[in-house]
Structure 1
Amino acid sequence: MNSKNQFKTIFRFELGNYFKNKVFVGTTIVLMILLSVIMFFPKISGLVKGSSDDREQKILLLSSEDPTLTQMAQTAFEKAFPDYQITITDPDAADIRSKINDGTADCGFLLQDAQNYTYFVKNLSMYDANPEIADQILRGISEIKAMTEAGLSPERAGSILATEVSHTVEATGKDQSQNFFYTYIMIFALYMVILLYGQMVSTSVATEKSSRAMELLVTSADPVKMMFGKVLAACLAGLVQLLCVFGTAFLLFNLTRDDWADNQIVTSIFDIPLHLLLFMLIFFILGFLIYAFLYGAVGSTVSKLEDINTAIMPITFLFIIAFIVVMTALGSGEVDNLPMMVCSFIPFTSPMAMFTRIAMSTVPSWQITISIAILAVSVCGTGVLAARIYRVGVLLYGTTPKPAEVLRMIWKGR
């Protein structure tokens, strides 16, 4: 069998194993169904809400012993709370509390004066911003009162406070708020896929080694073809799985785009620019390959399956450190700091670091070219080295050899 046929045979065999794996297929289907439910959630929740909610609008109770304050607050509250029906009620705390508890109203404000009030709500959400909005309203009312007491008419005071300021923001580079979410998803997806499929590659190699059939196969087949066949099959299987999952999400998003119109996070994720999508694929594939080769090489040196986690721990720690550096920079917004600049040219960290900088900052073309070139050459070099370690490792049994010992065997031509 020539080398070309060897690669095809190994590649097809390994790829077939993934597609026949019930866990692989089942996980893909479950994720597709889960994303389908998520994408249709606004439509489903709208139908459920429309059929179960007798009130068209949420009700906000407003009360005060000062009629003038009540009138001024009502006008301001109606503009500030468009989703609520503002209802004036008696300034009785027990009555307001009772109406909220029995579901007659959703929340209520009892104004002692323009500087003090009590906010009533049954279950206080951690995202409830109603008190902050009320603070701004009452602060404005207090300022109007102070101006009128100083001699200005209420109309003049109101017009002064209602003065609007407009502004225009022009980003000459990248808008980080727009690119943050799909950058985060790419980094997180790369993190999960590398850890998952990397361990699958190392486990597959260790399992074959334990059968002793590899002793015959490794002596009759080119180890480079075997290693590249295994890793590329795992890479393609991972890409197919991601394509099924995210392809389903993209298709359903376009079917329910109107339901997500008000959700900037979701719309920004699916409106990723084409050039960023291409960079994402490049760094995703190259990043996966370099770590998969390392995982496969380490898996070949393990004699027992239970030793895999210990053997691959240094590689996993290396990847986690890179992940932490990138996520820290992403969270702070300082993606061009020194650690990120250095990580952009180190092949084990550049898939995440350089893509993050491309998406969140303005990176010179020469830096991108050098980073991709270093990463591509490193993938090829790591693949060849992993194949040689693979050829030596599958013939070693007993105690897992140390890296220096494996390299020495490779150097001696074993």
Structure 2
Amino acid sequence: MRKWVRNMREFWIIFKQAFATKARTKSFIITTAIVIAGIFLLANITTIIDKFGGEDSAGDTLPVITEDGAVVQRLADQLKAMGEETVPEVSDEPRNVLDDQVKEGDIDAYLVLASGGGTIDAEYVTEDSMDFGFPMMVQEALQSIQTEMRAESLNLSPAEAGALFEPVAFSQTTLSDSGKTEEELNQARGLVYVLMFLIYFAVIMYSSMIATEVATEKSSRVMEILISSVSPVKHMFAKVLGIGSLGLLQMALFGVFGYIALKTSSAMSELSEGAFSFFGFSDINVMTIVYAVVFFLLGYFLYAVLAALLGSLVSRTEDVQSLIMPMTMLIVIAFIIAVTGLGTPDAAYVKWTSYFPFFAPLVMFLRVGMLDLPLWEPILSIVIMILTIAVLGWFGARVYKGGVLMYGPSRSLKDLKKAVQLGKE
């Protein structure tokens, strides 16, 4: 009993040291602060643009050169119905004067409009070649007006004109047990992509952090002092759990502040009704979040143990990145497979790679988020990952035990055999 208490005390001392040391570093604090500030910036980007954009858009006007004032009025009514506050107004100024005003920044753009015989010819003049949103809205409004004008010339009633452009009633039905409707896929796709990116970001960042931390302790000879009082195996798992807990805390901070930013943002209601709702963030599936947490934890521990193993083979921090490159490539390949599988989550290559333990955190999560899978499939993938973590932990502990005592330049992964042999002695 005393031995178990002593072991736990030593474990928690290293755990707290790993957690507190990284939490107090300037890089961690600055990175966390920058990401949180970025979240609030993105959540309030429309408000910031409006404040620095000069005059309120409600007072903006669009000068129009035309001889048909009736079309301009219809354009104004159409834009208002589309929710646009910019008001088109007939201008008496010639084109060269309006060109100068655009170049000097007095106006953003102007419109040259000609109509006749049920046809509208329009030219939108602006200095900014990247201005796409408002011109497309104007084009759409003019298209609607032209359709109405041609219907009037054919003596069609509004109902008859509307019937001509009524969309085809088309729906897609899938007979697959794991299939979802296109609307359900679209709603799940955005949420799954964001959570996949978080898993990818966290796994690759914190695993690299562990490898660098182990290499730093070896290069400063601190490791020799640590392993003289604590077993290398205990040190490895305490380090993995300590930095992993720090990662969970950082992800939780991002989530909490992201939620606060969206709730306090003036654009929140618009996001909920528009793209925010379209991509599934207004109706989050609880099981998707559960699977995200499960695969995040399993993916982290899988790559963290591997990172600690590789970090123990390195005596200089400069060699860390080159030695963990194969591990980094695994998670990058998994992310590429998952991203390409967003459009076809039921593809054969996505299905089979979702059972490969180093790809499963992203690829199987993609499948459970996008498809209605039988329960045994994610369970099987989770079991395979747990077994891999156990085997890797057992082997990693043996390598770590000898690796932390190895100094000198690291040549390659061939040092694994030397580390195992040294750990037996």
Which band: TM-score by shorter chain?
0.7 to 0.9
The 1-side partners of 2:393 and 2:380 are apart by 20
Which amino acid in 1 is paired with 2:387? V
Which amino acid in 2 is paired with 1:128? G
Q: Is the 8 A contact 1:296 1:390 kept in 2?
A: yes
Q: Is the 8 A contact 1:224 1:387 kept in 2?
A: yes
The 2-side partners of 1:390 and 1:224 are apart by 7
Of 331, 334, 338, 1:319 maps to: 331
**Cα shift at 1:206:** 1.4
The 2-side partners of 1:126 and 1:69 are apart by 23
The 2-side partners of 1:206 and 1:299 are apart by 5
Summarize the alignment of residues 181-260 of structure 1 with structure 2, pairs less than 5 Å apart. 181-215=190-224, 217-218=226-227, 220-256=229-265, 258-260=266-268
* Bigger shift: residues 171-180 or 282-291: 171-180
The 2-side partners of 1:105 and 1:129 are apart by 14
Gaps of 5+ in 2: 174-178
Q: What corresponds to 1:293 in structure 2?
A: 305
The 2-side partners of 1:326 and 1:35 are apart by 25
Change (3 A) 1:81 1:101: farther
Q: What corresponds to 2:374 in structure 1?
A: 364
Q: Is the 8 A contact 1:140 1:161 kept in 2?
A: no
Q: What corresponds to 1:173 in structure 2?
A: 180
Deviations 1:35-86 (A, max 9, x none): 334434445555666xx52663321233434567666656655545742212
Of 23, 27, 32, 1:23 maps to: 27
Identity of aligned residues (%): 25
The 2-side partners of 1:76 and 1:42 are apart by 23
Change (3 A) 1:173 1:131: closer
**Cα shift at 1:290:** 0.7
Which amino acid in 1 is paired with 2:267? D
**Cα shift at 1:22:** 2.9
Q: Is the 8 A contact 2:63 2:110 kept in 1?
A: yes
**Cα shift at 1:122:** 3.5
Q: Is the 8 A contact 1:223 1:387 kept in 2?
A: yes
**Cα shift at 1:101:** 4.8
User: What SS does the corresponding residue of 1:56 show, helix, strand or coil?
Assistant: helix
User: What SS does the corresponding residue of 1:261 show, helix, strand or coil?
Assistant: helix
* Bigger shift: residues 297-306 or 135-144: 135-144
Deviations 1:129-149 (A, max 9, x none): 52464267347626844873x
Q: What corresponds to 2:383 in structure 1?
A: 373
Change (3 A) 1:196 1:57: same
Q: What corresponds to 1:346 in structure 2?
A: 356
1:8 equivalent to 2:12? Answer yes
**Cα shift at 1:235:** 0.5
Q: What corresponds to 2:176 in structure 1?
A: none
Q: How many residues align?
A: 404
Q: What corresponds to 1:64 in structure 2?
A: 66
- Normalised TM-score (structure 1): 0.84
The 2-side partners of 1:55 and 1:125 are apart by 19
Change (3 A) 1:66 1:245: closer
Which amino acid in 1 is paired with 2:300? F
**Cα shift at 1:269:** 4.2
Q: Is the 8 A contact 1:115 1:142 kept in 2?
A: no
**Cα shift at 1:364:** 2.1
Q: What corresponds to 2:160 in structure 1?
A: 160
The 1-side partners of 2:18 and 2:171 are apart by 52
Q: Is the 8 A contact 1:202 1:296 kept in 2?
A: yes
Change (3 A) 1:122 1:109: same
- Normalised TM-score (structure 2): 0.82
Which amino acid in 2 is paired with 1:16? A
User: What SS does the corresponding residue of 2:339 show, helix, strand or coil?
Assistant: helix
* Bigger shift: residues 184-193 or 121-130: 121-130
**Cα shift at 1:345:** 0.7
Change (3 A) 1:146 1:247: closer
Q: What corresponds to 1:123 in structure 2?
A: 128
Q: What corresponds to 2:395 in structure 1?
A: 385
Q: Is the 8 A contact 1:77 1:137 kept in 2?
A: no
Which amino acid in 2 is paired with 1:237? L
Structural RMSD (CA): 3.3
The 1-side partners of 2:57 and 2:220 are apart by 68
